Amino acid sequence: MAAPAHRRSLRKRRTLVVSAAVVAAGVGAAALVLNANAGTVDLYHETLAAKDGWASSGTGTTGGTKADAAHTFTVSTRAQLVKALGSASDTTPRIIKIKGTIDANTDDAGKKLTCADYASGTGYSLSAYLKAYDPSTYGRSKLPSGTQEKARAAAQTKQAKNIVFKVPANTSVVGVPGTNAGITGGMLQIQNVDNVIVRNLAFAATEDCFPQWDPTDGDDGNWNSNYDSVTLRGATHVWADHNTFTDAPHLDSANPKYYGREYQIHDGALDITKSSDLVTVSRNQFTNHDKTTLIGSSDSEPAGKLRVSIHHNVYKGITQRAPLSRVGQVHIYNNYYDVTPLNGYAVQYSINSRAKAQVVAENNYWKVPSSVKVAKLLSGDGTGSVKGSGNLVNGTVTDLVAAYNAASSKDLKTTVNWTPTLTAGLESSAKNLPTTLGTTAGAGVLK
């Protein structure tokens, strides 16, 4: 796909002319949704185009495009962002322009806060916690309880009050081009609201100072953290576009081990849970991360929700959940996966379909080193489906489901109960994705 034809990066006047040269370059006419009455559309007022994934369904996703001047904000600090977001229950349309990088771990005056600041006054200390719940004395049959667990929870609550930003309905949160716009150490929480746009932002270093030890998680127990960079919980009509997600600068390889298990301070990058629905995730970059995108937080989530489109994203140095899908109807297309080990992040799988998820994965491209088996690119629990076509591995069309099923005792099903129709911009071949997405995905591309 010719990079200059990418409609979302343009602020030029739209016309009704689609040149034969563009069509010949392989861009479907649907990728260029033109509106004779649109005039010049600036980045902050752009809305999701018709038929661009599940978030375009029904009323579509317009975010805060109807915001008046009193509800249009430019913010550069944590305190300003909190004020601009206002109450999570206020449905007044608003546009929030983030200029530069906002450090969530700061107080209202801009002073840097550390884990020690959040722990102060709670009675929590890591050394005391480790002593209290050492499996050799506490055992492995129950979750931690008592003084130190209460102190840990209190410290975690203090951090959450500072770093969790609750996004109301009818809101666009957009990075100002050319300013390295983003949020470090924070979480955008889009919960039980409708119609939100998140674009052109770099999310980094979302870290939990106070992971909880769960000795019952898996065979050996696990440390579990609490914050995603962007989390959708019961949200509808959400468009996440042209963002970048990374653990940097603190990578998982720097995490210590306690009780023989990694002390994991990172959770998800972009999670879509609690019956969220009608979501489009497009042209983002995900890198240097483990548990990337969870669709559905439980195998028992009700059917009929969790309809998500994931397209034209770049995954590089991702361990798993790209995505992990439960229950819903998920369309995964035109993404680029480079599963070469990076900075200690080695792939476990790319796409997981479980809990009767109905996944259509088409025209994606995987770059796979000789050290990684193709059978590892997919995963499932024996109840999920993946209908795959046109997927390339190192440039060759490959039946990923067949490769996985040949090596697994829990086969992925190969038929689904739906047919994607909201497919504007779907490219019929994945062969050019490694080149085109390198310059059209992630934060900092939009002008």
Q: Active-site positions?
A: 321
CA atoms within 13 A on the CB side of 123: 8
Beta-carbon contacts of 392 under 8 Å, excluding residues fewer than 6 positions away, are 364, 365, 366, 398, 430, 431
- Residue 84, classed as helix, strand or coil, is helix
Is 276:230 a contact under the CB 8 Å cutoff? no
3-state secondary structure 244-268: EEECCCCCHHHCCEECCEECCCCCC
Residue type, 355: A
Enter the tokens of residue 207.
């870290």
Enter the tokens of residue 307.
């309809």
Is 400:372 a contact under the CB 8 Å cutoff? no
CA atoms within 13 A on the CB side of 311: 27
Sign of the C-alpha dihedral computed for residues 248, 320, 397 and 423 taken in this order:
negative
CA atoms within 13 A on the CB side of 166: 13
Residue type, 391: N
Is 237:194 a contact under the CB 8 Å cutoff? yes
Listing DSSP states for 225-236 in one string gives ----SEEEES-E
Listing DSSP states for 145-158 in one string gives -SHHHHHHHHHHHH
Is 101:181 a contact under the CB 8 Å cutoff? yes
Is 235:306 a contact under the CB 8 Å cutoff? no
Q: How many residues does the chain have?
A: 447
